[in-house]
């Protein structure tokens, strides 16, 4: 049974990019709420489907205006009458004329069960170009700027030839470079301190007036492209050389920075101009604004910290004490920009490389609301940045860029269900409708969301509410259905529509609790609950979120544990739930919910990625993976526990953001002694090499590229490992001292054992 | 002084309408005089009503004119033409006070003529007295030696010594028109005759004066003028407003039918030539306190022996009255015209530079005056007494020196600051902004690239020229290259900055569209060393015309351009100068946006002053900011229509810059003039970021300042820059008694930054005499300086007061000054004579020129921009420039001595001096005219123009062809001499006699009646005489 469910879950994930917390759905509202973990799913709208060729026609929609569901395998079809019944609203629809030849043996793909996910290519409409607008900070150290310039020049060769590119540079001033002029390089300059409206920006750039006189003087020239090109955004094939030269000539911001000051950096205005420029020239066209910054905004709207170095940038401590002077105002500024960009379907990436914070806390909404990338590094002159940046332009098996633009995701549910909300890199489109729940979870109150930028791994958590009343049971054997319709601009510039329709059985909780339990996907549930927790943490105090998570966990254990009341020792969880408490334990310790030891920027960075990665990556983030390499056998995963840290082991830990290779004490001594270089100890050499190879494999595949840490017992960087493992041995439980059972951690944090003990006690208690 | 009069309160200006005299008394508060106006007023009023009737009489009696020949014809010849215009004028001028209408009509037509006639006859009657009856008038008619001799009478230079003790009783010093002999009878006779004479005249009025007979044969110009049609007629209409107070007086003056010979009245040319003859080419040593220097028109070598050269400072008088009462009595303005950076000829010693190292200049502890020859060392050299505040200071140890037997320091002749009138100090860091040594200045070139400028090729011309002119940036003499950095901006309704950093392959253009709040988009690479960035700059200058070749932008901004330049200099922390090349009214939406307000309806109203004021306060505050940051601005304007010079020119004026204006610029005609101006301006000697302070000895102080400066307080004259052509006129007032022994001492200190970026102090000292004798004061007057002062004070007052009031004040003050002299310094018995002090002999003619200047004339024919332009020009003029500007140089060319390298002797600026056979060159510092008589000698025409005849001459040229013969060479040499050292390149206009352009030329014949109003010299002199007579009674 279990095996089948695991298979089922895996199969569904591979085919539809969907993982539900529950794979059997409680049939009444009341029972559903008692399940503690909501009915929800992780959806990867553009999951790689090499086996799924897109169909070259458009979907058939249900004719009911409030429904508009897409014809799918769940629909009842009357081949004689050429009618189909919508499985969501039961509307009977005529097939369009092109489906005249339809019959039981001649079915269109969308009616075949294996095409529960299908992708349509829309041939109509204008082909919009891809747009890449580079927004480059010039207040960088010479090395950094040089490295960044090279990366940017390199990127030009990676862009699609027809793509439009633009360049904005900023420091104390903001310069919008005109790319079409010859002989002299020309740019429009804006003061970095003045907030401008979109109208003003367009006026000042001369975009508000269509180039009428030009057209009058040269009427005979037909437009090469159907779109109006702007002086500031030019096709890469035309200005490749110009732009390469321009980037090459970029100088550091020439304004002097006196001692004790930060450079004046007008990030807020630069972004505002970038957004305004695209808004005026290419609304509703896929575009990436790529912000490269090497420090916090220090002037103008969106200022995060003043230019006095003696005043440090806000910390979590300042924020808790309400001492972050500029935070609210800056956040508001960037939110306004993010919303405008999102409205126009433009996404914003932030590549922040600096040793100190750069204001990601304030700017995070730019990436989070538009589906842009957020990359944080120490310097542009690191492989972390260079590789990560290069990966933006990676291509898939078809040779297409792994990026899509301007997507809208629409969710349709059968009548027993409503959608409560979504958590992920999206904004609400505020589409009310019959399937929108009043209870919001995440971004709710709508059945449609906009995702301005997404890639094949972008994953949203979507939360549902069972609305079927207890006294009106669903018919035995009937199924609930959900349809996800994702319309997006493919990197080939064509519009595409991917439709995923899934169905699950309803189950009566009273009689079929066992079945429902078995159909629980604890991994998906953990991630979905974590997303809810992280979503709450953005607006609530940390401790409140932890209390909420704990309460949910206790309730879940009470509901699904097997125990005798008031007897903690009797507590048991079935296999389907067995890992869940452990996930919660690590989640509580994770940087997504704990701000201690993290800067506000780091927290924002971690949360950003957590809210968009797929299930596998999310689980790694929650509970890092630990592999052990030793002479005792082949590499094996081991417990993320201090007891796993042994002297004769090499450990490889993957936390998603970091890859840590840790040499145990003995191994480290051997290495220092140089055994690996002796021919007779070649096996040791191989042992040392094995984790490096494995790490490389991870490094190559992941976006963004993780920080790579190579350390050893006693090394300062060992803290990366020590902070993650379960502190089963600490200075407080001294029985471990002197035994070869692992490394004690100097911490007051509770260990998993203590956590579980408490959990059992509380779960079996009748008090709560 | 009179300055106060202009800004007086309303009650004062109201009183103007009735009695012209009151203002003068008003501001000096002289009770004795103040009492008289009411008394005079009644007769004025009463008589005024009947005046018109009275007036008409003089012209009919034909005997006078005929008898006097040409002069008489001239005078009466005007009347028939003028008369018809009378009524319209009157009705169109409602702003006058009640009873004025009655006086007005009386005045315009007959009055002026008749007054001339009367006075002329009166004066000639006096001549008759002096030279013997019957014989004199005929002999006067042709200009000849006798009259000259009479003016010469007492030779000028020797006088002072003779006159000192009892000048009040002794008549000789002044020049009288009548010569020594006087007619005591004349005035009483007039008065007796005057009133009884009224009724008969009244009756005579009925028939209009017969014009025919009075027109003399020789008076062809007048007829020509009439041919010009309505313009001419209109021009004369303005005359009524000139001296409204005169008619009333005329009423009392009987009309002896005699004429005044123009040759008998003081000739400026004669005065100039005399001074040249007596003092020209000599060494003028400044060792004597209070000595009057040679005229500005006289070439001599100045030797600094303790007082500043007159090239640096000229005073209105070199002997100040001891008391303020005396000053009030004489009403002679006490002022100095200071040109601190005046160019010194190569044969004079340049200024010494004194460097006291870290100690800095030695200064008086109390008044902060700088060490100078006026400091008296005492106590064996341990202390010194300040000549200005009398404070006794310790000599700083580093500066100690023993005294010799006459109490003079042993190093007296080794230290310039002890023995010279002018010298410089190296300033210490205390004298620098933020106590940091200044950066070398920068020049920023800002080119209007709007459609018209591109179209007419101006942008290309400028860009081409900049390539050569930048090679000649001014530099310190010892330096190899100029320290001045340069930057470039182009603009239309947005601004384009250029990065021309030397390491760039090509220039970068940065567009600033936020003209509402303009800023400098780059620092590094904007201001560069020309030599280092030469190739990038040349690349840029080549490209600018190309970049904008397709631009259709017509609108421009202006204030943001200045703002941008100023901000750039501020950001670079250096002083500097903006060169703006601009063409149009800035109508684009931006601060300082202007609208076309060239409203001719405002002329002759109280609101006329608005036309001279800037439209918005934006430019005023910009100017203030510019001065605060050492940013000077020079504008080259190329207007094809109204551009509002009053607004655009404010910043250049207040920041020590220059405004150049080329109306309807045409590439082939005007580029040479423009390029000369540009080259000249860039190469000028100039100081930046200057503060001038004028210190005076106790008893008086500097109160009024006119010039290209900004004043944040009452003492510091702040100038963003000051060049060799800019002068500041400073007015002084008593605040105590002056001592005859110690005199009146002036020290002018200018703290500035050199073109090499050195902070320096330039000191000019001048000692003046003081006297309790009015005659001394009058003897030491300098007419050219007086006119400079009057012009500037009047042109400043233009901003606040109606022109009519200003003109009245000028006339009244003229009369008062002369009346005071007449009353106190001449033989009281000769009360009816017009006796002028020798030093002010030509003051009336110059004053009349000032009154006739288009700034003070409300005429629709003259563009508002031109008036605003001239107003601003004059405000920064030095004495020599203002002298030439108001009394142009008129040189006969047809009589040239081809062997001489000197300029020919000038002739008086009057039509009567021209001849049909002659060729004349006229120059006033802005324009040059070559006037060709209809019968000019063909060989001369051939020589100059290389064409066979008069008819072949193409007047459409601004440069004479280079013809290889002596006539051409000589003429071009003369023109070069005239042009030399003049701040503006003069545009040459070829004028043929009796062709339309002659109208323009005629405006410069300043002794004649003005085309657009303004009386002739003769008329004015008579008017002044009348007023003097009135004052004396």
Instruction: Provide the residue ranges of all domains of chain A, joining segments of one domain with +.
Output: 5-61+113-123+402-470+478-507, 131-207+230-392, 542-761
Interface of A with B in 646-705 (CB under 8 A): none
In a mutational test of the B interface, the residue from A172, A188, A215, A247 whose CB has the highest number of chain B CBs within 10 Å is A188
Tell me: pLDDT of B142 over 80. no
Contact A188 B519 (CB under 8 A): no
Question: Average pLDDT of B929-950?
Answer: 91
Which residue is associated with the tokens 């050195």? B758
Q: What angle do CA B957, B963, B965 make, to 5 degrees?
A: 140
User: Which chain A residue has its CA at the smallest distance from B541's CA?
Assistant: A184
Helix ranges restricted to H, B730-860: 774-779, 783-797, 803-825, 843-852
B506: contact with A, CB 8 A cutoff: yes
CB A637 within 8 A of CB A626: yes
Tell me the CATH number of domain A131-207+230-392, given options 3.40.50.970, 3.30.1330.20, 3.30.465.10, 3.40.50.410: 3.40.50.410
Helix (H, G, I), strand (E, B) or coil at A310: coil
* DSSP sequence for B489-536: EEESSSEEEEE--TT-SS-EEEEE--GGG-----STTTSEETTTTHHH
When CB atoms are compared, the residue of B509, B522, B525 closest to A184 is B509
CB A712 within 8 A of CB A697: no
pLDDT at B70: 40
From residue A383, how far is each of A52, A136, A689, A700, A716 by CA, in Å? Answer: 35, 19, 21, 11, 22
CB B82 within 8 A of CB B74: no
Tell me: pLDDT of B41 over 50. no
In a mutational test of the A interface, the residue from B511, B524, B550, B557 whose CB has the highest number of chain A CBs within 10 Å is B511
User: Which chain B residue has its CA at the smallest distance from A200's CA?
Assistant: B514
The superfamily (CATH) of domain A5-61+113-123+402-470+478-507 is beta-sandwich domain of Sec23/24 (2.60.40.1670)
User: Which chain B residue has its CA at the smallest distance from A187's CA?
Assistant: B510
Report the candidate in A196, A172, A252 with the shortest Cα–Cα distance to residue B519. Answer: A172
**What residues does B728 pair with on adjacent strands?**
B338
Tell me: pLDDT of B40 over 80. no
In a mutational test of the A interface, the residue from B509, B544, B571, B588 whose CB has the highest number of chain A CBs within 10 Å is B509
pLDDT at B1011: 80
> Chain A: nearest CA to B442, how far in angstroms?
18
From residue A604, how far is each of A346, A362, A594, B124 by CA, in Å? Answer: 21, 9, 12, 104
CB B320 within 8 A of CB B736: no
Q: Please give the structure tokens belonging to residue B807.
A: 């003109």
A255: contact with B, CB 8 A cutoff: yes
pLDDT at A124: 82
Rama region for A499: left / alpha / beta (φ>0; ψ in -120 to 50; rest): beta
When CB atoms are compared, the residue of B494, B514, B522 closest to A254 is B522
A252: contact with B, CB 8 A cutoff: no
The residues near A184 (Cβ < 8 Å, ≥ 6 apart) are B506, B507, B508, B509, B540, B543, B547
CB A281 within 8 A of CB A229: no
Residues of A in contact with B521 (CB under 8 A): 173, 175, 189
In a mutational test of the A interface, the residue from B514, B554, B568 whose CB has the highest number of chain A CBs within 10 Å is B514
B513: contact with A, CB 8 A cutoff: yes
Contact B506 A187 (CB under 8 A): no
> Chain B: nearest CA to A256, how far in angstroms?
9
CB B757 within 8 A of CB B440: yes
* DSSP sequence for B86-149: HHHHHHT-TTS-TTHHHHHHHIIIIIHHHHHHHHHHHHHHHHHHHH-TTTHHHHHSS--HHHHH
pLDDT at A735: 57
Q: What is the pLDDT of residues B763-790, one digit of tens each?
A: 999 999 999 999 999 999 999 999 999 9
Secondary structure string (H, E, C) spanning B372-440: CCCCEEEHHHCEEECCCCCCEEECCHHHCCCECCCCCECCCCCCHHHHCCEEEEECCHHHCHHHCCCCC
Question: Average pLDDT of B935-963?
Answer: 90
Tell me: pLDDT of B678 over 80. yes
pLDDT at A636: 93
Q: What is the pLDDT of residues B401-456, one digit of tens each?
A: 999 999 899 999 999 999 999 999 999 999 998 999 999 999 999 999 999 999 99
Helix (H, G, I), strand (E, B) or coil at B870: helix
**What residues does A499 pair with on adjacent strands?**
A118, A485
Contact B543 A184 (CB under 8 A): yes
A62: number of CA atoms within 13 Å, CB side?
23
Q: Whole-angstrom Cα distance, residue B310 to residue B211?
A: 51
Q: Whole-angstrom Cα distance, residue B774 to residue B168?
A: 8
Residues of A in contact with B503 (CB under 8 A): none
Secondary element (H or E) of residue B155: none
Tell me: pLDDT of B79 over 70. no
Average pLDDT over all residues of chain A:
90
Q: How confident is the model at residue B141 (pLDDT cuts 50, 70, 90)?
A: very low
A213: contact with B, CB 8 A cutoff: yes
pLDDT at B223: 38
When CB atoms are compared, the residue of B514, B522, B525 closest to A190 is B514
Which residue is associated with the tokens 């096996």? A683
pLDDT at A181: 65
Contact B522 A186 (CB under 8 A): no
The residues near B145 (Cβ < 8 Å, ≥ 6 apart) are none
Question: Average pLDDT of B49-78?
Answer: 36
The residues near A494 (Cβ < 8 Å, ≥ 6 apart) are A121, A122, A123, A127
Q: In what order do the strands lie in the sheet with A460-466?
A: A18-20, A40-43, A460-466, A417-423
A186: contact with B, CB 8 A cutoff: yes
Residues of A in contact with B511 (CB under 8 A): 186-189
Tell me: pLDDT of B146 over 50. no
CB B550 within 8 A of CB B508: no
pLDDT at B523: 84
Secondary structure string (H, E, C) spanning A664-712: CHHHHHHHHHCHHHCHHHHHHHHHHHHHHHHHHHHHHHCCCCCEEEEEE
Contact A188 B510 (CB under 8 A): yes
Give chain A's residues under pLDDT 70: 1-3, 181, 208-229, 733-742, 767-768
> Chain B: nearest CA to A263, how far in angstroms?
14
Residues of A in contact with B513 (CB under 8 A): 188, 190, 203-206
CB A742 within 8 A of CB A626: no
pLDDT at A734: 56
Residue contacts between A and B (CB atoms, under 8 Å): 64
The residues near B457 (Cβ < 8 Å, ≥ 6 apart) are B667
User: Which chain A residue has its CA at the smallest distance from B507's CA?
Assistant: A184
Contact B506 A204 (CB under 8 A): no
In a mutational test of the A interface, the residue from B495, B516, B522, B543 whose CB has the highest number of chain A CBs within 10 Å is B522
Contact B511 A190 (CB under 8 A): no
pLDDT at B768: 95
Helix, strand, coil percentages for chain B (3-state, nearest 5): 45, 15, 40
Cβ count within 10 A of residue B1022 = 30
Q: How confident is the model at residue B1017 (pLDDT cuts 50, 70, 90)?
A: very high
Q: Whole-angstrom Cα distance, residue A600 to residue A597?
A: 10
B502: contact with A, CB 8 A cutoff: no
pTM of the model: 0.81
Contact A249 B522 (CB under 8 A): no
Residues of B in contact with A206 (CB under 8 A): 513
In a mutational test of the B interface, the residue from A176, A179, A183 whose CB has the highest number of chain B CBs within 10 Å is A183
Where does A542-761 sit in CATH, by number?
3.40.20.10
Q: What is the pLDDT of residues B549-592, one digit of tens each?
A: 988 899 999 999 999 999 999 999 999 999 999 999 999 999 99
Asked whether the ipTM of the predicted complex exceeds the cut of 0.90, the reply is no
Return the percentage of chain B with pLDDT > 70, whole number. Answer: 75
CB A146 within 8 A of CB A114: no
Residues of B in contact with A213 (CB under 8 A): 552
The residues near B639 (Cβ < 8 Å, ≥ 6 apart) are B583, B584, B645, B661, B662, B663, B664, B865
Q: How confident is the model at residue B964 (pLDDT cuts 50, 70, 90)?
A: confident
Average pLDDT over all residues of chain B:
78
């Amino acid at each position: 049974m279990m095996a089948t469910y695991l298979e089922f879950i895996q199969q569904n994930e591979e085919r539809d990019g969907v993982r539900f917390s529950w794979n059997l759905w409680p049939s009444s509202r009341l029972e559903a709420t008692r399940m503690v973990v909501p009915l929800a799913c992780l959806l990867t709208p553009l999951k790689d489907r090499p086996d799924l060729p897109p169909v070259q026609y458009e979907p058939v929609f249900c004719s009911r205006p409030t429904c508009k569901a897409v014809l799918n395998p769940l629909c009842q079809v009357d081949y004689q009458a050429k009618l189909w019944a919508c499985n969501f609203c039961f509307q009977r629809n005529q097939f369009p004329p092109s489906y005249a030849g339809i019959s039981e043996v001649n079915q269109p793909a969308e009616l075949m069960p294996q095409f529960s996910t299908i992708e349509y290519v829309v041939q109509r409409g204008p082909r919009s170009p891809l747009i890449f607008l580079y927004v480059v900070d010039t207040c960088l150290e010479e090395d950094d700027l040089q490295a960044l310039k090279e990366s940017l020049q390199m990127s030009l060769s990676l862009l699609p030839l027809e793509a439009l590119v633009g360049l904005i540079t900023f420091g104390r001033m903001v310069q919008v470079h005109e790319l079409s002029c010859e002989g002299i390089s020309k740019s429009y300059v804006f003061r970095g301190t003045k907030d401008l409206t979109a109208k003003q920006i367009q006026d000042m750039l001369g975009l508000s007036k269509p180039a009428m006189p030009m057209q009058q003087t040269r009427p005979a020239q037909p437009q090469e492209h159907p779109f109006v090109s702007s002086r500031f955004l030019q096709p890469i094939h035309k200005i490749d050389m110009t732009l390469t030269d321009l980037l090459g000539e970029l100088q550091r911001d020439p304004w002097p920075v006196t001692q004790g000051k930060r450079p004046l950096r007008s990030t807020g205005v630069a972004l505002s101009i970038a957004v305004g420029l695209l808004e005026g020239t290419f609304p509703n066209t896929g575009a990436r604004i790529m912000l490269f910054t090497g420090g916090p905004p220090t002037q103008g709207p969106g200022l995060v910290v003043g230019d006095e170095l003696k005043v440090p940038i806000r910390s979590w401590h300042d924020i808790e004490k309400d001492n972050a002077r500029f935070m609210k105002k800056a956040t508001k500024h960037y939110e306004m920009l993010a919303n405008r960009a999102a409205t126009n379907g433009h996404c914003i990436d932030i590549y922040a490389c600096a040793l100190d914070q750069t204001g990601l806390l304030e700017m995070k909404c730019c990436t989070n609301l538009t589906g842009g990338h957020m990359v944080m590094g120490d310097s542009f002159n690191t492989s972390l940045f260079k590789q990560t940046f290069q990966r933006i332009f990676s291509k898939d098996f078809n040779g297409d860029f792994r990026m899509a633009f301007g997507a809208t995701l629409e969710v349709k549910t059968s009548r027993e269900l409503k959608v409560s909300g979504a958590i992920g890199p999206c904004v609400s489109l505020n589409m009310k409708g019959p399937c929108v729940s009043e209870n919001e979870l995440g971004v709710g109150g709508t059945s449609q969301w906009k995702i301005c930028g997404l890639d094949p791994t972008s994953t949203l958590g979507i939360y549902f509410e069972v609305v079927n009343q207890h006294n009106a049971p669903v018919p035995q054997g009937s199924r609930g259905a959900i349809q996800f319709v994702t319309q997006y601009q493919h990197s080939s510039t064509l519009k595409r529509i991917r439709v995923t329709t899934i169905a699950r059985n309803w189950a009566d909780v009273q009689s079929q609790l066992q079945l429902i339990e078995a159909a629980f996907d604890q991994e998906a549930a953990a991630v979905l609950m974590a997303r809810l927790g992280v979503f709450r943490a953005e607006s609530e105090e940390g401790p409140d979120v932890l209390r909420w998570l704990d309460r949910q966990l206790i309730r879940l254990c009470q509901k699904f544990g097997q125990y005798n009341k008031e007897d903690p020792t009797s507590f048991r969880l079935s296999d389907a739930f067995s890992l869940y408490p452990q996930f919660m334990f690590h989640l509580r310790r994770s940087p997504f919910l704990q701000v201690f030891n993290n800067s506000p920027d780091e927290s924002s960075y971690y949360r950003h990625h957590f809210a968009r990665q797929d299930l596998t990556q999310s689980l790694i983030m929650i509970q890092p993976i630990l592999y052990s390499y030793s002479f005792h056998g082949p590499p094996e995963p081991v417990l993320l526990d201090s007891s796993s840290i042994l002297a004769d082991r090499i450990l490889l830990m993957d936390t998603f953001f970091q890859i840590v290779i840790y040499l145990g004490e003995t191994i480290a001594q051997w290495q220092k002694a140089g055994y690996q270089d002796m021919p007779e100890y070649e096996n040791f050499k191989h042992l040392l090499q094995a984790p490096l190879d494995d790490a490389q494999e991870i490094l190559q595949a992941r976006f963004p590229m993780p920080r790579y840490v190579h350390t050893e017992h006693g090394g300062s960087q060992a803290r990366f490992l020590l902070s993650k493992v379960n502190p089963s041995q600490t200075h407080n439980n001294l029985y471990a001292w002197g035994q070869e059972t692992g490394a004690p951690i100097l911490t007051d944090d509770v260990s998993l054992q203590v956590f579980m003990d408490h959990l059992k006690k509380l779960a079996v208690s009748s008090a709560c | 002084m009179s300055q106060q009069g202009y800004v007086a309160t309303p009650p004062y200006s109201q009183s103007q309408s009735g009695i012209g005299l009151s203002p003068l008394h008003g501001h000096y508060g002289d009770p004795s005089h103040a009492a008289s106006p009411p008394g005079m007023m009644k007769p004025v009023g009463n008589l005024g009503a009947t005046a018109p009737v009275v007036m008409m009489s003089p012209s009919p009696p034909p005997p006078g004119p005929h008898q006097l020949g040409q002069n008489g014809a001239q005078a009466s010849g005007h009347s028939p033409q003028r008369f018809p215009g009378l009524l319209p004028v009157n009705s169109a001028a409602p702003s006058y006070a009640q009873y004025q209408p009655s006086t007005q009509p009386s005045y315009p037509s007959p009055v002026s003529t008749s007054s001339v006639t009367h006075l002329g006859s009166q004066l000639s009657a006096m001549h008759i007295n002096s030279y013997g009856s019957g014989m004199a008038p005929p002999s006067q008619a042709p200009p000849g030696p006798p009259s000259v001799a009479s003016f010469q009478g007492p030779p000028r230079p020797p006088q002072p010594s003779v006159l000192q003790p009892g000048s009040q009783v002794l008549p000789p010093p002044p020049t009288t028109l009548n010569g020594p002999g006087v007619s005591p009878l004349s005035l009483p006779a007039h008065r007796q005759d005057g009133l009884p004479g009224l009724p008969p005249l009244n009756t005579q009025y009925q028939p209009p004066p017969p014009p025919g007979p009075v027109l003399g044969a020789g008076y062809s110009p007048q007829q020509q003028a009439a041919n010009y049609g309505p313009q001419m007629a209109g021009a004369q209409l303005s005359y009524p407003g000139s001296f409204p107070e005169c008619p009333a007086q005329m009423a009392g003056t009987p009309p002896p039918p005699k004429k005044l010979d123009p040759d008998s009245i003081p000739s400026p040319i004669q005065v100039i030539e005399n001074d040249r003859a007596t003092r020209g080419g000599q060494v003028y040593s400044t060792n004597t306190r209070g000595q009057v220097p040679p005229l500005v028109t006289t070439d001599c070598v100045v030797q600094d022996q303790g007082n500043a050269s007159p090239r640096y400072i000229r005073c209105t008088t070199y002997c100040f009255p001891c008391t303020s009462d005396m000053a009030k009595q004489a009403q002679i303005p006490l002022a100095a015209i200071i040109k601190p950076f005046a160019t010194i000829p190569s044969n004079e010693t340049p200024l010494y530079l004194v460097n006291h190292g870290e100690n800095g200049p030695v200064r008086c502890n109390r008044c902060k005056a700088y060490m100078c020859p006026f400091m008296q060392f005492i106590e064996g050299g341990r202390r010194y007494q300040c000549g200005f505040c009398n404070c006794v200071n310790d000599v700083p140890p580093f500066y100690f020196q023993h005294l010799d037997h006459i109490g003079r320091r042993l190093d007296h002749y080794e230290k310039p600051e002890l023995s010279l009138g002018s010298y410089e100090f190296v300033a210490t860091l205390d004298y620098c902004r933020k106590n940091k040594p200044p950066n070398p200045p920068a020049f920023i070139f800002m080119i209007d690239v709007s459609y018209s400028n591109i179209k007419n090729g101006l942008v290309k011309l400028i860009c081409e020229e900049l390539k050569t002119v930048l090679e000649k940036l001014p530099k310190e003499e010892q330096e190899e290259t100029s320290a001045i950095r340069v930057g470039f901006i182009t603009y239309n309704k947005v601004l384009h900055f250029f990065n021309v950093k030397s390491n760039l392959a090509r220039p970068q253009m940065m567009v600033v569209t936020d003209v509402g709040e303009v800023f400098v988009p780059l620092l590094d690479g904007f201001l560069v060393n020309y030599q280092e960035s030469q190739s990038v700059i040349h690349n840029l200058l080549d490209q600018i015309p190309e970049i904008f070749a397709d631009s259709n932008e017509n609108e421009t901004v202006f204030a943001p351009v200045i703002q941008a330049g100023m901000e750039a200099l501020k950001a670079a922390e250096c002083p500097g100068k903006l060169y703006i090349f601009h063409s149009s009214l800035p109508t684009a939406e931006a601060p300082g946006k202007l609208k076309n307000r060239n409203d001719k309806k405002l002329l002759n109203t109280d609101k006329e002053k608005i036309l001279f004021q800037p439209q918005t306060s934006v430019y005023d505050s910009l100017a203030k900011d510019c001065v605060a940051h050492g940013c000077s601005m020079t504008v080259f304007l190329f207007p094809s229509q109204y551009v509002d010079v009053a607004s655009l020119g404010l910043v250049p004026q207040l920041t020590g810059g220059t405004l150049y204006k080329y109306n309807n610029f045409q590439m082939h005609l005007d580029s040479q003039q423009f390029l000369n101006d540009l080259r000249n301006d860039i190469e000028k000697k100039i100081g930046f970021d200057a503060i001038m302070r004028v210190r005076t000895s106790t008893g008086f102080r500097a109160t009024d300042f006119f010039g290209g400066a900004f004043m944040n307080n009452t003492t510091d004259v702040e100038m963003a820059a000051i060049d060799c052509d800019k002068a500041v006129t400073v007015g002084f007032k008593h605040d105590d008694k002056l001592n005859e022994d110690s005199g009146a001492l002036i020290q002018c200190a200018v703290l500035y930054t050199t073109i090499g970026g050195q902070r320096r102090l330039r000191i000019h000292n001048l000692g003046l005499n003081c006297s309790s004798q009015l005659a001394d004061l009058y003897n030491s007057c300098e007419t050219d300086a007086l006119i400079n002062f009057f012009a500037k004070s009047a042109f400043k007052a233009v901003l606040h007061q109606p022109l009519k009031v200003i003109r009245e004040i000028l006339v009244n003050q003229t009369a008062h000054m002369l009346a005071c002299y007449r009353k106190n310094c001449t033989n009281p018995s000769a009360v009816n004579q017009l006796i002028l002090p020798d030093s002010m002999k030509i003051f009336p003619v110059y004053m009349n020129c000032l009154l006739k200047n288009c700034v003070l004339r409300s005429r629709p024919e003259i563009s508002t921009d031109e008036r605003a332009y001239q107003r601003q020009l004059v405000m920064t003029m030095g004495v020599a420039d203002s002298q030439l500007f108001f009394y142009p140089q008129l040189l006969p060319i047809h009589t040239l001595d081809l062997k001489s390298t000197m300029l020919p002797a000038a002739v008086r600026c009057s039509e009567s001096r021209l001849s049909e056979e002659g060729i004349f060159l006229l120059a006033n510092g802005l324009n040059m005219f070559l006037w060709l008589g209809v019968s000019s000698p063909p060989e001369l025409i051939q020589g100059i123009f290389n064409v066979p005849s008069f008819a072949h001459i193409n007047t459409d040229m601004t440069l004479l062809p280079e013809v290889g013969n002596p006539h051409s060479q000589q003429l071009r040499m003369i023109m070069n001499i005239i042009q030399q050292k003049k701040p503006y390149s003069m545009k040459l206009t070829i004028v043929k006699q009796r062709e339309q352009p002659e109208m323009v030329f005629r405006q410069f014949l300043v002794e004649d009646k003005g085309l657009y109003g303004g009386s002739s010299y003769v008329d004015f002199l008579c008017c002044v005489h009348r007023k003097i007579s009135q004052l004396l009674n």
